[in-house]
Chain A
Amino acid sequence: MHYEAPIRKPLIEGDKSYHDITVDVVRPVESSAPKSWWLVFSLALLAFLWGVGCILYTIGVGIGTWGLNKTVGWAWDITNFVWWVGIGHAGTLISAVLLLFRQKWRMSINRSAEAMTIFSVIQAALFPGIHMGRIWLAYFVFPIPNQFGSLWVNFNSPLLWDVFAISTYFSVSVVFWYVGLIPDFAMIRDRAVKPVQKHIYKILSFGWGGKAKHWQRFEEVSLVLAGLATPLVLSVHTIVSMDFATSVIPGWHTTIFPPYFVAGAIFSGFAMVQTLLIIVRKVFKMEQYITIQHIEMMNIVIMLTGSIVGIAYITELFIAWYSGVEYEQYAFLNRATGPYWWAYWSMMTCNVFSPQFMWIKKLRTSLMFTFFISIVVNIGMWFERFVIIVTSLHRDYLPSSWSMFSPTFVDIGIFIGTIGFFFVLFLLYARTFPVIAQAELKTILKSSGDNYKKLQEKQEQEHGEH
C-alpha cells in the first residue's frame, strides 16, 4: 500500500515519525519570535505604512499625483496589478494541479505557496481599486441595483470579467487553503497549553476531530476543489490578458496573450515561492521537509515556463513582422530599439536567458544560485508587464501625442507599500500558522520517508535472495 519505486528519492529526510512531524511543524508557532523576525517585520511594516500614506494621498488628491499623462493612461498601477496576480498563480498550481497529478512533493510546500497566492492577490486587488479614482464608488463593479435606476454592469467588458475572475479566484483560494488548515489548527489546539492560544486555535480549528467520515469528505472536497481550481487558475490570467488582448492597441491585440500570460504567471509565481521557501526552510530549520529535491523540482518548472515565455516573445516578434500591419511592426521595433530598449532587454535577459542556467544540475540544486535567479526572474517579470503596457502606449497612432512615462514618488511608494504589506502578511502567517500541511504530509511518510524507504529496500533485497 505504501509502495514507492526505490529510484524516487525520499521527500522527508532524517528518520521522522508522525510525532516528529507534529513537533517540527508546530515549533515556530510555539516558540517566540527571534530578533531577526522582528527586524524584518519592522522593515516590512515601515514599507507598508509608507505605501498606506501614498495611497491615502492618491485618494485625497486624485490620480493626477501619479506620473500618468493622456498618452500613457495606464502604467505602474496595472503593471503592479498584473505582476502580483501572476505571482499568485504558483500557489494554486502547486496545491491544485499537482494534487490532480498526484505529485507528492507538493505537500511540504503547498501551504506556504497558497499563503503567498492569497497575500499577493490582496496586493493585486488594491491597484484597480485605487485607480478608479473614486474608491467609494467601487461597488459599481458589482451587478447590483444602484441610485441611477437599473443601470447595470457591462457583461461584455473584459474589465468586468476580471472583477468576477479575481473575486472567484481569491475567495476559492481562501476556502481551499482554509479547509486544508482546519486539521492542522486542530493539532495545534490539542497541543496548546496557554489558555489564550488554546482558545484562538479552538476557534480556528472549527472543532475538527478527525472522524473517519469527516476525513472521507475532506479528501473528496480537496479533490473537487482542486478540480475546480485548476481551470480557475488558468482562467484568471487568461482574463487578465484579455484586458489587453481585446483592445485595438498594437502590441496588445494578439491572440497569443492568454497562454503566454498564464505561462509567465506560473514562471514568476514559482520564482517567488523559491525566494520565500529558501528563507523559510533555513529560518525554521525545515531542510528535511523542503529538501533540495523540492527546490530542484521547482527550478525545473521555472526552466520550462521560462522557455515557454521565451518562445512567446519570439513568436510575438515574428507575427508582428508576418502580419504586415505597419503599426504592429512599429510597436515591436520600438520595444526593442526605441527609448525603452533598456526595459525590453532587461526583460529578455531576466526571463529568457537566466532560466536556461537551470539545465545544469549543479546550478539548479544550488540554493544560493536558485535564490539569485528567483529574484532575477521576478524583476524580469515586472519588466515584462512594464514593457507590454508602457511601450505599447507611449507611441500610439498619432506621433504628435507620443510621450514618455516617468513615475512619481507616489507611484514608487505604492509599489514599495504593497511589497511591505505582502511581507507583513507572510511574516505574521509564518509565526502563527502551520507552514507545512502536516496532516497531508503524514500520509506520505510511509511511502516517501527516508527511514521507511530504507526499510522497504531492505525487505525487497531479502525477498530477492530467497
Chain B
Amino acid sequence: MASTNQTIINALYDDDDVLLSGVKQVREKGLEIQEVYSPFPVHGLDKAMGLKETRIAIAAFLYGTLGLATAISLTYGMMIVDWPLNIGGKPSFSWGENMPAFVPIMFELTVFFAAHLMVWTFFFRNKIYPGAKAQNPDPRTTDDKFLMEVVAGGDHSNEDIMALLKETGAIEVSVNSAEHA
C-alpha cells in the first residue's frame, strides 16, 4: 500500500469478535491498518476496515453479456449465414425465427463465460496461482488465529500502539520492521 520502509506492528488475536472490535478501536485512533489475515471470512470486517465494496459481480455481469454475444454470433454465423440447414423441410429462415432453438446455447454460454472469467479475475486480482508463495506471514492464521498489521507512525509511538493493541485483546504484539511490499 504505502512506501516500502515502514514499520509494521503485528497484533495476533484468537477470536473474531475481539479482532473486529480491535479493528474499530485502532481505526478510531486514526491508525492505518495495512492488512488483516483471517482463517475464515469475518462478517463485517471489510466494513470495519473501510474496504471498498468489490466490483467482481459487475465484472461477472459484463462477462455474461460477452458470453451471450458470443452465442448469438456463433448461431447466427454458422446456422444462418455460413451454412443454413434445411432439416425435415424446416429451413433456418432468419435468426429471429430460429432463436427459440438457440435459447439453451445462449443460456449455457452466458453462464460459462460469466463463471470462468469471473474466477480468472478473482485469481488475477488476488495474485493467487498454482505454486505461489503463501501470502500469510504467520501460518497460524489459516487455523484459528487472526493477524492485524498496523502501520506505525503519526503522533503515536510504537510503544503507544503496542499498548493499545494489547488493550484491545491481542494475545501477541510484535514490531516488524522488515520491508513489506
Chain A contact residues, CB within 8 Å of chain B? 1, 17-19, 22, 143, 150-156, 158, 160-161, 164-165, 167-168, 171-172, 175-176, 179, 182-183, 186-187, 189-191, 202-221, 223-225, 228-229, 231-232, 235, 239, 242, 439-440, 442-443, 446
Contact = CB atoms under 8 A, between A and B. Distances in A.
B53 to A, nearest CB: 8
Nearest to B128: A206
Contact of A190 (B53, B109, B127, B134): B134
Contact of B134 (A171, A186, A217): A186
A153 to B, nearest CB: 7
A217 B41 CA distance: 10
Contacts of B53: 216
Nearest to B78: A152
Interface residues of B, number: 64
Contacts of B108: 161, 164-165, 168, 232, 235
A152 B49 CA distance: 54
Interface string B104-117: 11011101101110
The dominant DSSP class at the A interface is helix
Contact of B105 (A161, A224, A440): A161
Contacts of B181: none
The dominant DSSP class at the B interface is helix
Given A150-B78, A439-B41, 10 more contacts: A18-B143, A161-B108, A172-B111, A191-B143, A206-B128, A207-B127, A212-B35, A217-B54, A217-B125, A442-B40
B104 A216 contact: no
Contacts, number: 210
Given A175-B119, A186-B142, A210-B142, A154 B39 contact: no
Given A168-B108, A202-B134, A213-B46, A155 B75 contact: yes
Interface string B100-143: 01101101110110111011001101111111111110011111
B39 A212 contact: no
Contact of A221 (B46, B112, B122): B122
A183 B102 CA distance: 39
B171 interface: no
A182 B123 CA distance: 11
26 contacts: A1-B17, A1-B44, A143-B74, A153-B78, A154-B85, A155-B75, A155-B78, A156-B79, A161-B108, A168-B109, A182-B128, A206-B132, A207-B129, A209-B37, A209-B135, A210-B38, A212-B42, A213-B126, A214-B128, A216-B46, A221-B119, A223-B57, A224-B114, A235-B108, A439-B39, A443-B41
A190 B143 contact: yes
Contacts of B85: 154, 156
A262 to B, nearest CB: 14
B39 A442 contact: yes
B51 interface: yes
Nearest to B61: A224
B122 A206 contact: no
A218 B38 CA distance: 13
Nearest to A154: B85
B128 A207 contact: yes
Interface string B73-109: 0110011001101010000000000100110110111
